[in-house]
Amino acid sequence: MSCEAYFGNGFSKVADILPAKVALRTGSSWFRSHHSETKIERGGEKLEDVIGRSGEEELPRFQDGAFVVEGNGGSKIRKLVGEGFLDEFIPVDDNDDSSHPIRESIGSIVIVGANDFDCPEWVDEPTLLVTRFEYANLFHTVTHWYSANVSSRVTGLPNRPHLVFVDVHCQTQLDETWKELFSSLRFAKSFTAHDLVQSPDIHKTARLSEFGEMIRSTFDLQLNRYRAGEEASGHNVLFIRREDYLAHPRREGTVEQRLSDEQEVFDSLSSWASNHVECKVNLINGLFAHMPMKEQVRAIQDASVII
């Protein structure tokens, strides 16, 4: 029996859109990206340079032909999937007026024949496309890191494939970890072609323990959390501090405030720990905004309690 946490038991719903065929070049399936058919800016700007930019401007909008796959298309260009397929696999709320980037991207794919499938730039190494809905909040971004890891595992990609952001979010401190987790990082507007795996292993499961091991190994931290003498030295209580900060462009430069009683709570805990040395409680001042991601992960790994 395993005590690991699971998100589902693999991916059971499969759709074979194109018939299996012998790959033309390297044993994988190719597709072409037309960034001229994708309404998106470059991304990666400094936060101060894009204050006031709306959330809609930071997500891509795809037109037909934004992505192209090679198939038995002959001289006629046709769409890869229709509305019926999209409604079944990527349904949207009829009352929701907002766009769905994943649905739009798949709906934009067209099939062409071999004679019409050419690219000015070929990338023959495994590459993952990611559209981030949240990028500045650590707790939300962890779900993106996890999903990217799941996608790599299920499709049999190497541990650190290349990464392309199909969005235009600005720079954040979390970019450091994206760069550590993947071999390279680029934005969609500077990219023209990708290599996809043809037959993903849909029975592989997304285990949280493997995700944690991947994060720790990325920063060269030991995978075995227990250390000899840890109990004798006491318990680390990590108090993560929330400081004043700029969240994202849509706040119009408004600074988010720290919790009003945060310092009071921290001082109270610190005083209690000092007056009860027999409890062997080490209160850690978690100033994450001033710590590299490696030190943040180390502090979390070494903590007995996180506040």
Work out the pLDDT band at 6, boundaries 50, 70, 90. very low
Alpha-carbon distance values, 78 to 4, 95, 107, 111, 114 (Å): 45, 29, 11, 5, 14
Measured CA to CA, the distance from residue 302 to residue 294 in angstroms comes to 12
Higher pLDDT, 47 or 282: 282
The mean pLDDT value for 54-66 works out to 79
pLDDT value at 225 more than 80:
no
Q: Tell me, what amino acid is at 141? A: T
Work out the pLDDT band at 63, boundaries 50, 70, 90. confident
pLDDT value at 191 more than 80:
no
pLDDT value at 4 more than 50:
no
- Mean of pLDDT over the chain: 75
pLDDT > 70: percent of the chain:
68
**pTM (2 d.p.):** 0.59
- For CA atoms 244, 248, 249, 252, the dihedral sign is negative
pLDDT at 273: 92
pLDDT at 110: 86
Contact 189, 165 (CB under 8 A): no
Q: State how far Cα 132 lies from the chain centre.
A: 6
Quick one: DSSP state of residue 257? P
The mean pLDDT value for 191-219 works out to 61
The mean pLDDT value for 206-210 works out to 66
Work out the pLDDT band at 22, boundaries 50, 70, 90. very low
Of the candidates 43, 37, 25, which has an alpha carbon nearest to the alpha carbon of residue 164? 43
pLDDT value at 196 more than 50:
no
Contact 188, 117 (CB under 8 A): no
